[in-house]
Structure 1
């Protein structure tokens, strides 16, 4: 069956690619051309060359397009633009394929080839190919391209979008289906994954990716956020790795066929926005399966009803033990607080360990070790939980703790259902095993079901560490309240069941106090101490993996001062600084250091002229100096309110009326000409901060296991 499907797919691929005129060599040629332009960042010459080449190619193919300027914002400014090519379809749907010009040489070249293919093979949906400018940048207004393009399509119906990002021809594609609580609908994910699988395109998507995105704990999602905010179903395909030429040609043809298949497969776009579903694919070669919301909820309710039925069958025992539980109801919140305090204390110990190492982010280099460290600490304290219950006037019946474990699992299930119903499956597994644990009379069976109840937490932890979901790991490791609460909800039922098991031995087996708990406590304590010393001696950097170091050459032309701001994720130690032909020794540096240097440069200059007419003053100026600043931050300041009537760039007045910020965008033309019109009696100070990512004659740190990145900031203030 698989062989027949493979042969059929190859034949169909040959026919589609042959008659569509698709040529992998054209894509590779265009990709290399885009790479030859160098940096294609916002406002650079490389970006302008790429935009002009794209426009010329679309004209050759007789495809209609428009240039969408990105400088129309009241706040913020960009010298860049989008190019939007439109190919009409035969149905009412709208299929958007977008790619960034900066950082997307291959994906941009692929869009040009798709333009030719769709021109020769009219699509079912109207296709919009969007070449996005100004996607990367440091300002709060980036990504300009996605933000403005998505705004122009947000009112369209029957629409879906693919965001394609790949600088080189990738080995595999990482799918991002959403974030911050919004994910692509069920029908879109199902069709796209089915097409990628059937066309032999390697891709990576896990069910946990969808759950993490739906919970909004995945961290930054970049330009995808703009499309989701415009309520456009969007999936980002980000390339990773590279392939050789032979494999690359085959994958290019497969990609072109996949986009054609996706267009045909979604000729009728469903109206539903269903976003609750489970994605199943255990291994890369498996057929992707997606379970939609209705079957999932039906199975969940069915299992829940079955559990209630089992409880009713044992009504007498349940009623008696629930009466015992209600009699000591006050013990449950007390014990919950105790366990929460254990996790709170383990969080403080992890924080102190990071402070001792003087390396706050060292956990990023060994997340598994730090998770193990925290769990060992919490486990050590939790083993003392049993000893605490024996020393306090708490119930000593094993039934109290087993039923408390079931109730806690049920409460955790309600909490997780409110967060995301698909997570409830894990807590449901725990509830079932806790019930089987409680119903069993054999100590070995009890132990077996107790171990089974740990499986979801253990597997979830492995997935989080392997990915890694750094935002989730950071929350569990370092969040004193929310992270500790989540861990308490997960672990508290297991601790209660373990306590019940301990009392079961005493109550029914009539055994004496065992040395097992003290021995386990000692073993875990020793493990935590060994791990602590290992962490304190950990150095993740070497010549093969050099330590990143950031140097900001800060020059203040107001006070004629120069200072180097040196920073790194971890302690720097001894090094040598090379600047202006001189070498300076640096000793025992921590993570940050400020080094004052001789003032010998003037990278910024301002020339201005003023003309007054009818109570208004027009100021013209020119900012010049060191070439190619990445950004200029410009403010007009005054001690009293003033009126800025107009300027040649967008601006925003402060609420006090005594300051205005002028937005000139990234990589502005330099020297830069300015023009302001203000009230005649305004006494202004022009404040300019220049920022260079590749400064002239930069300082450097000399050490083999250090890789420095240097930038320069210059502050200049003049009265105008």
Structure 2
């Protein structure tokens, strides 16, 4: 069992050294990926390790050449400190050396300092430590990829990745990324170490299922290693959830990985941080990791009171087989009853299909109802802010419509006996169990409970017994529902709410057993003299109508934004630029990329009111647009060509990327920035260079270059003081993107 009762402070990194032995280094705060500051930080760490006689290596990024035709020439090296004592496989502690934006997360620097202090005070450690540079480069984590390519870690050498964005924040275990999840043995070992010290981190829960299904779109730092099949678990402090559509975000976005920092949250001092990660490393290092094909086949099942359970799929499958075996044994002893049930199902199978069709139709109409709410409100992202409200609205509407459609049974001749509906409920419950288990174990475990309760309903003879099982069976779905909401599995919830065909087919299959059980109960009670089916149906219709109407009225009136919680509107200006110094005071039309409810599409102009749909829009005055210029020069060096790209412009740090195009395949011998070869090696895509200062000169040495030209993109932030809206409930932020070409000018 994994304890997850609360969200207390936990384990920062094995990283607590005695205050008297701590070493203070002037680690630069401006450690952008591949920058001089990142190189400087690596040099300081290497110098300190050498001074203390600690063995270390600086791994070469050239190993990454084997991946994706990528060539990361000048990125800083990895500093790898091997274990002092080891026998066989060992654990590696990974810490990011760079940061996503200049001065963005000072606690990342604190984490580096504490890690170094810990190394210097742990001479007998049995696990390795690695400082990874280039981790916050977009799309590619150069450090993680190079570590995987170096052979220092493997499928049996687990990695514990620790990133401290805010030391005062709640820590979280990160158990997967984009189709891969942490091996069960590693997760259990680390969790056991936490329990041993009374630590209660935020546990991934059903987010693990989202990672495994490759549906969780949030970026995290374990993805680079897990994509190379390295068993990894992450411990992140202060990583926010991905922004929802239209969600306010007052702090300015920093870097390229979507991290934000709350300026009001204080950083915890280094000497007050707990040291429980050491226990996790010691335990994981002491128990060899035996990864098998089943290691990523498990589910994390949330339970009441904040508890969670890790259930291997082997255990889950054996449970299903055990229940089926008991069912067949019961059928063997009650052969006559089993034959009657089987005959009823096969003879009236069309009734089962009709009930399924009615339930499916009710769910489709309920989808239309909540879609109308979103359409009328003019805010597609409203449901993300009121998940439970929209789930309740669809459930209530579907229940109301089902009660109306079920009256069609009064006009169908030869309705089968009650035993048919009991048998059909068991069959449909098993079918939903098989289908959802094929999708994911994490969301299917509750259907195993429902299947058992459905069998109990079918076996029970008295109305009270059947009523007891009928009430319990649907409740078993509440836990996965709460887990999906807690895991913020937006794609799954959106499919369940708004996917007219596939989503409603799955929902109809899930709720069909309970619907059939309700019909069986209705038939059973109908035989009693005191039972008044018409009165009960009318009362149910009244309650369902009142509940549906109340929820819809609330959804039509609520609004998630206010002056204290304003709506963020991102403005993206795209300009095809000649890359020549020019006067940029002319107005520019911009497209707002937002779910804002004002109008759609939202078109704004600097100093101009545009009203495409008859709606008065906002004034966005801007003093002037940034300037940028670019030129290319070339020198011949033996059989190679040195291409020099010179950029100059406003002293505002842009986000810069560019492509080198050639008529013939390119062969790079040197590049100041990483490059990825595309389009049959005729295009070199140079990765984004964050926080670069103008002027800059970038040099590439390549062979086979014919008729080269550069395609350049430079993003400048729009300063908040240049944007204005009279509406206090709206917060504006944006950027201007220059795109253009510059061709070779020979020197």
User: Could you say which TM-score interval applies, normalised by the shorter chain?
Assistant: 0.7 to 0.9
Deviations 1:649-697 (A, max 9, x none): 4656764898664546444564233557788983x65432211246698
Distance 1:339 1:163 in 2: 47
Q: How many residues are paired up? A: 687
Q: Is the 8 A contact 2:644 2:697 kept in 1?
A: no
2:516 aligned with 1:492: no
Counterpart contact for 2:723–2:733, Cα < 8 Å: no
| RMSD of aligned Cα (Å) | 4.3
- How far apart, CA to CA, are the structure 2 residues paired with 1:109 and 1:84? 19
Question: After the TM superposition, which residues 45-84 of structure 1 pair with which residues of structure 2 at under 5 Å, given as runs?
Answer: 47-68=38-59, 70=61, 73=65, 74-75=69-70, 77=72, 80-81=75-76, 82-84=78-80
The residue aligned with 1:557 is 577
Q: Is the 8 A contact 1:476 1:483 kept in 2?
A: yes
Deviation at 1:536, TM superposition (A): 2.9
CA distance in 1, matches of 2:89, 2:116: 17
Is the alpha carbon distance of 1:570 and 1:27 closer, same or farther for their aligned partners in structure 2, counting shifts above 3 Å?
Answer: farther
> TM-score under structure 1 normalisation?
0.82
2:17 counterpart of 1:22? yes
Gaps of 5+ in 1: 1-12
C-alpha distance in 2 between matches for 1:68 and 1:591: 59
Deviations 1:91-137 (A, max 9, x none): 11221111223267546644554455455545564x33222233334
8 A Cα contact 1:457 1:490, kept in partner: no
In structure 2, list runs of 5 or more residues that go unmatched: 1-10, 240-263
Which SS does the other structure have where 2:57 is aligned?
A: strand
Other-structure match for 2:498: 478
Distance 1:598 1:706, change over 3 A: closer
Report the Cα offset of residue 484 of structure 1.
Answer: 1.9
Instruction: Find out whether 1:225 has 2:223 as its counterpart.
Output: yes
- Alignment map for 1:334-413 (pairs within 5 Å): 334-393=354-413, 395-413=415-433
Residues 535, 25 of structure 1: alpha-carbon distance in 2 compared, 3 angstrom cutoff: farther
Give the aligned partner of residue 732 of structure 2: 708
Whole-Å separation in 2 of the counterparts to 1:191 and 1:60: 35
Question: Shift of residue 22 of structure 1?
Answer: 1.8
Check conservation: 1:430, 1:453, Cα contact below 8 A: yes
**Which residue in the other structure is 1:442 paired with?**
462
- CA offsets 1:414-452 (integer angstroms, 9 cap, x no match): 223333456554222212222222233332322221111
Q: Which moved more, 1:223-232 or 1:59-68?
A: 59-68
- Whether contact under 8 Å (1:695, 1:712) holds in the other structure is no
User: Per-residue deviation at 1:320?
Assistant: 1.1
Among residues 535, 560, 567, which one is paired with 1:515 in the alignment? 535
Residue 658 (structure 2) pairs with residue 634 (structure 1): yes
Separation in 2 of the partners of 1:614 and 1:29? 47
2:640–2:701 contact (8 Å) kept in structure 1: no
In the superposition, the TM-score normalised over structure 2's length comes to 0.79
Any conservation in 2 of the 1:437–1:446 contact (CA below 8 Å)?
Answer: yes
Query: 90, 96, 100: which one pairs with 1:100?
Result: 96
What is aligned with 2:698? Answer: 673
Segment drifting more, 304-313 vs 565-574? 565-574
2:595 corresponds, among 536, 548, 569, to 569
- Give the equivalent residue in structure 2 for 1:10: none
- 1:87 paired with 2:112, answer no
Shift of 1:189: 1.8
Q: Is the 2:631–2:743 contact (alpha carbons within 8 Å) kept by the matching residues of 1?
A: no
Q: Distance between the aligned counterparts of 1:499 and 1:166, measured in 2?
A: 55
Contact 1:555 1:563 in 2 (8 A): no
Give the conservation status (yes or no) of the 8 Å contact 2:447–2:477: no
Q: How has the CA–CA distance of structure 1 residues 463 and 608 changed in structure 2, closer, same or farther, with 3 Å as cutoff?
A: closer
In 1, the alpha carbon distance for the partners of 2:535 and 2:89 equals 70
C-alpha distance in 2 between matches for 1:318 and 1:476 = 35
In structure 2, the partner of 1:8 is none
- Judged with a 3 Å threshold, the aligned counterparts in structure 2 of structure 1 residues 45 and 58 are, in CA distance, closer, same or farther, namely same
Moved more, 338-347 or 151-160: 151-160
Question: Does the 8 A contact of 1:632 with 1:690 survive in 2?
Answer: yes
2:244 maps to 1:253: no
Cα deviation for residue 70 of structure 1 reads 4.7
CA distance in 1 between partners of 2:321 and 2:490 (Å): 33
Residue 164 of structure 1: how far off its partner (Å): 0.8
Distance 1:427 1:142, change over 3 A: same
Task: Please tell me whether residue 177 in structure 1 is matched to residue 188 in structure 2.
Answer: no
Q: Which moved more, 1:176-185 or 1:271-280?
A: 271-280
The aligned residue for residue 136 of structure 2 is: 136
Q: Secondary structure at the match of 1:41?
A: coil
Deviations 1:20-56 (A, max 9, x none): 98236888977xx76xx54543245654454344334
Higher-RCO chain (CA-CA 8 Å, sequence separation at least 6):
2
Counterpart CA distance in 1 for 2:559 and 2:502 is 30
Shift of 1:622: 1.5
CA distance in 2 between partners of 1:481 and 1:27 (Å): 61
- Residues 52-106 of structure 1, C-alpha deviation per residue, up to 9 Å, x if partnerless? 4433433343323334455764437585433322233231122111122326754
1: distance between equivalents of 2:615 and 2:738? Answer: 23
Deviation at 1:381, TM superposition (A): 1.9
Q: Say if 1:514 and 1:94 are closer, same or farther in 2 by CA, change over 3 A.
A: same
Task: Give how far 1:372 is off.
Answer: 0.8
State the 1:160 CA deviation: 0.9
Partner of 2:4: none
> CA offset at residue 321 of structure 1?
2.4
Alpha-carbon spacing, 1:657–1:45, altered in 2? closer, same or farther (3 Å):
closer
Give how far 1:223 is off. 2.9
Shift of 1:369: 0.6
Name the CA shift for 1:221/1:654 in 2 (closer, same or farther; >3 Å): closer
1:42 aligns with 2:33: yes
Change (3 A) 1:398 1:256: same
Mapped contact 1:97–1:163 kept (Cα < 8 A): yes
Contact 2:665 2:705 in 1 (8 A): no
CA distance in 1 between partners of 2:734 and 2:652 (Å): 15
Residues 179/313 of structure 1: CA separation in 2 closer, same or farther (3 Å cut)? farther
Alignment partners' CA distance in 2, 1:270 and 1:656: 41
1:333 aligns with 2:333: no
Tell me, yes or no, if the aligned pair for 1:107 and 1:164 is still in contact at 8 Å: no
1:546 aligns with 2:546: no
Question: Would you say the 8 A contact 1:64–1:87 is kept in 2?
Answer: no
Aligned residue for 2:70, secondary structure, equals coil
* Closer, same or farther: CA 54–360 of 1 in aligned 2, 3 Å: farther
State whether residues 665 and 704 of structure 2, in contact with CA within 8 Å, keep that contact through their aligned partners in structure 1.
Answer: yes
Aligned position for 2:245: none
Distance 1:594 1:146 in 2: 45
Match of residue 9 from structure 1: none
Distance of aligned partners of 1:407 and 1:78 in 2 relative to their CA distance in 1, 3 Å threshold:
farther
- Tell me, in whole angstroms, the C-alpha distance in 1 between the residues paired with 2:608 and 2:20: 52
Residue deviations 1:553-587, cap 9 Å, x none? 4333349773333333322589xx999xx966687
SS in structure 1 opposite 2:476? helix
Does the aligned pair in 1 maintain the 2:651–2:693 contact within 8 Å? no
Aligned to 1:94, the other structure's residue is in SS state coil
Deviation sequence 1:483-537 (CA, Å, 0-9, x none): 2233122111111111222222335659554132244234323433333333233
